[in-house]
A = this chain, B = another copy of it.
Amino acid sequence: MKNIVVKAAALLTLTAPVAAQEAPEGAPSPNAIVDAARPGDWVTIPAEDLLVMELAPDAVGNPRTLVIQLMPAPFSQGWVENIRTLARAEWYDGITINRVQDNYVVQWGDPNHDNPEATGEAKPLPKGLNVMGEHEYSTTKLARIDWQSLPHVLVRANESLRPRKRSHPTIPDAPPRIDIRLDDYVSEPGFVFGWPTTRQSGLQGWAPVHCYGMVGVGRSYSPDTGSGTELYTVIGHAPRHLDRNIALVGRVIAGIEHMSSLPRGSGALGFYTEEEAGKRTPIVSVRVASDLAEDQQPSFQYLSTESETFAKYAEARANRRDPFFIVPAGGADICNIPVPVRRVAATPK
Across-interface contacts of A267 in B (CB, < 8 A): 14
Query: Is B2 touching A178 in the complex (CB atoms < 8 A)?
Result: no
Query: Is A178 touching B163 in the complex (CB atoms < 8 A)?
Result: no
Across-interface contacts of A349 in B (CB, < 8 A): none
A24–B269 Cα distance when bound, in Å, is: 19
- Selected from B161, B183, B237, the residue in CB contact (under 8 A) with A212 is B237
Give the one of A21, A179, A262 with max B CB within 10 A: A179
Query: Is B329 touching A241 in the complex (CB atoms < 8 A)?
Result: yes
- Selected from B114, B142, B177, B332, the residue in CB contact (under 8 A) with A240 is B332
The answer, yes or no, to whether A236 is at the interface (CB within 8 Å) is yes
Overall SS of chain A's interface = loop
Query: Is A329 touching B221 in the complex (CB atoms < 8 A)?
Result: no
Query: Is A147 touching B162 in the complex (CB atoms < 8 A)?
Result: no
- Selected from B187, B229, B241, the residue in CB contact (under 8 A) with A3 is B229
Q: A183-B184, A212-B236, A241-B336 are in contact. List 12 more A-B contacts (CB 8 A).
A: A3-B109, A4-B271, A5-B104, A17-B116, A17-B117, A153-B176, A163-B184, A166-B202, A183-B185, A238-B336, A244-B326, A333-B333
17 contacts between A and B (CB under 8 A): A2-B113, A4-B116, A5-B104, A6-B269, A8-B269, A15-B116, A21-B221, A152-B177, A155-B180, A161-B179, A178-B314, A180-B319, A181-B318, A185-B329, A200-B330, A236-B236, A245-B324
